[in-house]
Amino acid sequence: MQSLIDGSSTDQLPTDSFTCWIMGSGGLSTVDLSINPADSMSAAPGSEETVIQGFAGNDIIVGGPGDEILFGSGSDTFAGLQDSLGGKAYGKTISDFTMGQDVLDISDVLQGYFGDGSDLISGGFLSFENIRSNVDGTTTFTLCIDQDGHAGSSYSRMSMVEMTVIGLNLGSNQEDHATEILMQMLNNNELKF
C-alpha cells in the first residue's frame, strides 16, 4: 500500500496496486489504483511512440506530451490531446475507439467553443481526413483541428489524432463520410468539447 499526502511518500510503490489518500478542499479521499508498468507503458520497437493501454474497466486514458498509441478495453474516455498539436513526429493514435461505448474528450483543445457541435466541421474547427475502411471492418481517419475555426486567425489546422474506430456506419458517398462520423459521435454522446 502506498500513502501519498501533499506529494510525500511513506513507502515503496508496488507494481500492481495501491491506495492513494488525497487531501482536497473537501477533506481526505481515497483512490484505489492498479498499475502494471510493463503492460501500461512501453516503447514500440524502433520508434519514439509510447503505448498507453487501459484496463478491462471504464478508464480515462490521458495522453501526455509525447507521441503515443492509446487503447483501452471497456467504455473508455480518451483525453489529454492538447499536447498532440504540433512538433510531434507521430502524434497520437487511438487504436480501438468503439462506437456506442467510448468517448473522445477534446475539451482541452477547443477551449472557448460554446456551440452544440453541429458546426464543428462547417465552422472549420474539425476535419476528418484520410478516411479509409479497413479489411477488419474498422474505419481509420485523421482528426484535424483548428482551435479557433474559420473565424479566427490565431491558429491553423493541425493533425490531432489518428483514430481506428470499431462500429462506425458510413454510407457509400465518400463526400458525406466526415459529416457522418461527426453526427454519429454527437448522437452517441461520444464527443466531449
Parallel/antiparallel/unpaired status of strands 17-24 and 27-34: antiparallel
48-55 average pLDDT score:
76
- What digits encode the pLDDT tens for the residues 86-143? 555 556 889 999 999 999 999 888 877 888 999 999 999 999 999 999 999 999 999 9
The rounded percent of the chain whose pLDDT value lies above 90 is: 37
- Domain containing 22 equals 1-35
Beta strands in 46-192 (DSSP E): 50-53, 60-62, 68-71, 77-79, 92-98, 103-105, 126-133, 139-145, 158-166, 191-192
User: Do residues 171 and 80 share a domain?
Assistant: yes
User: Do residues 101 and 152 share a domain?
Assistant: yes
pLDDT greater than 80 at residue 67: no
pTM of the model: 0.72
User: Do residues 52 and 24 share a domain?
Assistant: no
pLDDT of 18 reads 46
User: Do residues 58 and 109 share a domain?
Assistant: yes
pLDDT of 156 reads 86
User: Do residues 17 and 50 share a domain?
Assistant: no
pLDDT of 84 reads 60
